[in-house]
Amino acid sequence: MKKEFKSIHYKEFNTNIFKLWEDQWFLLTCGDFKTGDFNTMTVAWGSLGIMWSVPFAQAVVRPTRHTFGFMNKYSDFTLCAFPKKYQKDLSWLGTHSGRDGDKIAHTSLTPCASHKILSPSFEEADLIIECEKMYVQDMDPSKFLHDFIHTKYKENDHHRIYFGKIVNIFSS
Ligand SMILES: Cc1cc2nc3c(=O)[nH]c(=O)nc-3n(C[C@H](O)[C@H](O)[C@H](O)COP(=O)(O)O)c2cc1C
């Protein structure tokens, strides 16, 4: 049976954001559901908040990810969170590249159309955040003010930062 999603206003969104990012993780998905030109990857670093007086989600993607090309080509993306039982699927999608084949086919997840944007969501998600890109910036290591941050970039693959304006939050 298909889940009923309801749209929530961002001020009604009431969850532990730290647990959501660090323990539950998201799938970051970008592209065009209709043409099938999209990719997804697991993300655990990012933020949700207010910037320029609008609600935003911020995700960071290393240039080595296949998803990186999609994030630059398309103007929107989704962040989807899932019930615990799908965590092994998120682990798979966070350790395999769409560059090497249809990695979603190895999971129990089903891409589906989003409501306001081209990038897909997933039927099994219990939280879907639809975003329109509004700001992009490459991380500048000369601006790191704590030494430990450099240890995260041994391959010199500094993230590109994407701020997306949240245009919809759906929760099941
Ligand atoms: C729990 C978890 C969190 C991750 N968080 C990020 C992240 O925030 N940014 C990033 O660039 N890669 C992150 N990754 C790595 C990508 O998900 C991984 O490299 C993935 O295979 C890339 O897929 P792609 O090549 O199809 O884009 C994470 C992986 C895992 C398992």
CATH number, domain at 67?
2.30.110.10
pLDDT of 1 strictly over 80 = no
In a domain, 106, yes or no: yes
- Residue reference for tokens 């949700």: 48
- The stretch 57-78 carries a mean pLDDT of 98
Q: What's the pLDDT at 117?
A: 98
What's the 78 CA to ligand 1 centre distance in angstroms?
Answer: 15
Nearest CA to ligand 1 atom 30: 94
- Phi and psi at residue 98, in whole multiples of 5°? -65, -15
In a domain, 77, yes or no: yes
- The stretch 83-89 carries a mean pLDDT of 98
Q: Which atom of ligand 1 is nearest to the CA of 91?
A: 31
Cβ atoms of 103 and 96 within 8 Å: the answer is yes
Pocket of ligand 1 (CB under 6 A): 25, 39, 41-45, 60-62, 65-67, 91, 94-99
Q: Which atom of ligand 1 is nearest to the CA of 62?
A: 11
Closest CA to 136 of 163, 154, 101: 163
Nearest CA to ligand 1 atom 18: 94
**What's the structural domain count of the chain?**
1
pLDDT of 3 strictly over 80 = no
* H/E element, 68: helix 66-73
Residues in Cβ contact with 44 at an 8 Å cutoff, skipping those fewer than 6 apart: 21, 22, 25, 26
Full residue range of the structural domain in which residue 125 is found? 6-171
pLDDT of 5 strictly over 90 = no
* Residues facing residue 112 across a β-bridge: 121
Interatomic CA distance for residues 154 and 143, integer angstroms: 16
Specify the pTM.
0.97
In a domain, 1, yes or no: no
In a domain, 167, yes or no: yes
- The stretch 22-32 carries a mean pLDDT of 98
Q: What's the pLDDT at 2?
A: 56
Cβ atoms of 161 and 136 within 8 Å: the answer is yes
Cβ atoms of 26 and 43 within 8 Å: the answer is yes
Interatomic CA distance for residues 125 and 40, integer angstroms: 13
